[in-house]
Structure 1
Amino acid sequence: MDGSTADDIRYSIGDLARRTGLTVKTVRFYADTGLVPPTGRTPAGYRLYDVHALARLDLVRTLRELGLDLPAVRRVLEREAPLQEVAAAHAEALEVQIRTLRLRRAVLLAVAQRGSTPEEMRLMHKLAKLSDAERRRLVHDFIDETFGGLDADPGFVAMMRSAMPELPDEPRPEQVEAWVELGELVQVRDFRAAVRKMAEHQAAERAEGDRSGLHIALTGTVTSLVRGALAAGTAPASPDADPVVAALTAAYAEAFGRPDDEELRQWLSDRLGTANDPRADRYWQLLAVINGWPARESLRDVFEWFTEALRARLAGC
């Protein structure tokens, strides 16, 4: 035995390449950039490396395979940044990339299912990739514009603000489509104007006293009576609807302390026409799809029937 130890062994760049599985070109690049400096040189001037350089090169390869860029690798090797901190930061970055890839996959699946045009795909990807904070801001801006400066029902406004779209990390194609549609909907000027009018009606009623409890009770009464009429096949403009309309207008007159007359029916018709905008119902349906909530019961058909019945009687006056 010559008495040499592992520390005495020297490797050429070709040896390092064979031992690490890297190409000679890659090993030479790391050597040229100073990431793996040579331990010595042969008489002919060729670079040689010891076992510590081999271990350093193996660490460089591992860090690069994990996706760290060269500056980050250098900081770790020179102990400017603890490896655990670099690893934690990189793991967080990878998580963001993974979520982005999952979202892109969901967008592509949605496009494949609906046969979207290139422009629709561009818009879908643009809206779908918004961060959670950006999504909330988009909806909060909508609520600020439609309810801002008005003394609307605080409970309803609070509910609106708490019901934010939360697209999951692995959204289904229908959730991506719902988010895109919601993102477009809350930016429609006409829809914002309609919701603003609803808020103004709420504020006007609150000026006369808090009637939030009355509306809940009245909604129950309308739902019960109109569902019965719908089940019986009663047309809103038919004479058979008269008792239902009379019972409902009487309930509203009592609740609001107003005479049960044509003026009340006109007042009701105006407010129901605004409140029953189908886009408002669609807003809540889309939120349910995005957030994975149970399907929300729609009362649109109930209030459409009631509104049509009121208008038919106002037209006949």
Structure 2
Amino acid sequence: MLPDGMWSNGMWSIGELAERAGVTVKTVRFYSDRGLLPEAARSSGGHRRYGPDALDQIRLIRSLRALDLPVPEVGRILDRRDSADGDLEDALGGAIARQLDDLGVQLTALRWREAALQLVHDCPPAERPQRLRLIGAVSVPPSTDALARFWRRWLPVRLPARQVSAILDHAVPQPPPDPTPEQVLAFARLHAFVTADCGGGDHCQPAAHQPDEGYRPSVLYDGLVEAFALAAPDLRAGRPPRAGEALDCFVAAYARACGLRDTPGFRHRLGGQLAADPRIDHYWQLVTDISGPAEPNPGVSHDWLRAALDAELALER
């Protein structure tokens, strides 16, 4: 015996299917028109007819849509299930993972907007126009592209790609997914800093970055990475700058980079050069404000080693 309301040929009309599925005829027609619910046949009058499996299909479609999966994604899942090597679990797992990624981006954007609104709400009225300009220049969720471009301009042009990539990993802070208003302000200020015009010319870069100084940048940066690692325990412990293995490694990096030996005379020249170099202390302070002081960043490490060199040279005077 056929189910109640089913036509003698085992088919349901669009209205009967909609009633049993608990949806509107318009919904069934939409699913059909989008290829999600193939009709089994047409009546002699040209009306759509559906088989019993259409009811399970609609229930599956509604479950997928309840997860806010877009219609094209639902279609891909159904196609994968119906293919010869179809695997609904794999297709569904991939779709859910993509949806979770999208939701993560949306939630991060909402949290940044909330923190930005709180930042503007809590500041004195006279400061609001400036803060609005800062925040308005940053995308939501924020992108680090401008920071990466800044470093590609700042770094020597002859650095190997592997070193550039490693430097960017350490120098470009990742925006926190759940920021405080203070972190939003710090990131906006950092964005403003890296997009400002430094004035042009060689004075925008340290001497070691300029091609006519005879440096081998890749040698310098390999040595600086080692020196920063040696200085890290002292920085974490809050010890004042001092002579030692980290400072020796730091000076040797500059010496090797320009084919010289680490001598007292070289240390004096290096101290003068570093004192005259352009500085981006503001950048590193903002990075600390965003990421926290738990791990010393390259700017903090470099300043500590410079101070250690200055202290050593002062004792010799």
Same-fold status (TM-score > 0.5): yes
Alignment of 1:298-313 (within 5 A): none
Structure 1, residues 64-100: CA drift from partner, whole Å, max 9, x if none?
Answer: 3334444443444342464345434423432332232
Counterpart-to-counterpart distance in 2, 1:14 and 1:25: 9
Alignment of 1:20-39 (within 5 A): 20-39=21-40
Correspondence for 1:122: 136
Equivalent residue letter for 1:101: Q
Answer yes or no: is 1:187 the counterpart of 2:195: yes
Deviation at 1:292, TM superposition (A): 4.1
Equivalent residue letter for 1:288: T
Counterpart-to-counterpart distance in 1, 2:274 and 2:78: 70
Correspondence for 1:238: none
Correspondence for 1:272: 275
Correspondence for 1:111: 116
Correspondence for 1:294: 294
Correspondence for 2:282: 282
Equivalent residue letter for 1:123: A
Counterpart-to-counterpart distance in 2, 1:110 and 1:204: 46
Deviation at 1:177, TM superposition (A): 3.2
Cα 1:168–1:25 shift into 2, 3 Å: same
Equivalent residue letter for 2:95: H
Cα 1:33–1:100 shift into 2, 3 Å: closer
Identity across matched positions, percent: 24
Cα 1:62–1:176 shift into 2, 3 Å: same
Mark the runs of 5 or more structure 2 residues left unpaired by the alignment: 121-127, 243-261
Structure-1-length-normalised TM-score: 0.56
Cα 1:294–1:195 shift into 2, 3 Å: farther
Correspondence for 1:231: none
Aligned to 1:186, what secondary structure does the other structure show?
A: helix
Counterpart-to-counterpart distance in 1, 2:175 and 2:283: 15
Equivalent residue letter for 2:30: F
Whether the 8 Å contact between 2:173 and 2:291 is mirrored in structure 1 is yes
Deviation at 1:54, TM superposition (A): 0.8
Counterpart-to-counterpart distance in 2, 1:186 and 1:26: 51
Matching residue within 150, 165, 174 for 1:166: 174
Deviation at 1:166, TM superposition (A): 2.1
Equivalent residue letter for 1:58: R
Cα 1:94–1:170 shift into 2, 3 Å: farther
Correspondence for 1:247: none
Cα 1:200–1:33 shift into 2, 3 Å: closer
Aligned to 1:189, what secondary structure does the other structure show?
A: coil
Correspondence for 1:61: 62
Q: Which has the higher helix share?
A: 1
Deviates more, 1:55-64 or 1:69-78: 69-78
Counterpart-to-counterpart distance in 2, 1:39 and 1:214: 73
Correspondence for 1:197: 206
Structure number with bigger Rg: 1
Mark the runs of 5 or more structure 1 residues left unpaired by the alignment: 225-254, 311-317
Correspondence for 1:77: 78
Aligned to 2:186, what secondary structure does the other structure show?
A: helix
RMSD, aligned CA: 5.1
Report how many aligned residue pairs link the two structures: 255
Matching residue within 250, 257, 278 for 2:264: 257
Whether the 8 Å contact between 2:11 and 2:49 is mirrored in structure 1 is yes
Structure 1, residues 10-51: CA drift from partner, whole Å, max 9, x if none?
Answer: 544344334333222111322345533444667877544342
Deviation at 1:148, TM superposition (A): 0.9
Cα 1:168–1:91 shift into 2, 3 Å: farther
Whether the 8 Å contact between 1:31 and 1:38 is mirrored in structure 2 is yes
Equivalent residue letter for 1:23: T
Equivalent residue letter for 1:177: L
Counterpart-to-counterpart distance in 2, 1:139 and 1:223: 29
Counterpart-to-counterpart distance in 2, 1:161 and 1:48: 60
Counterpart-to-counterpart distance in 2, 1:12 and 1:51: 11
Counterpart-to-counterpart distance in 2, 1:289 and 1:110: 15
Deviation at 1:105, TM superposition (A): 1.7
Correspondence for 2:96: 91
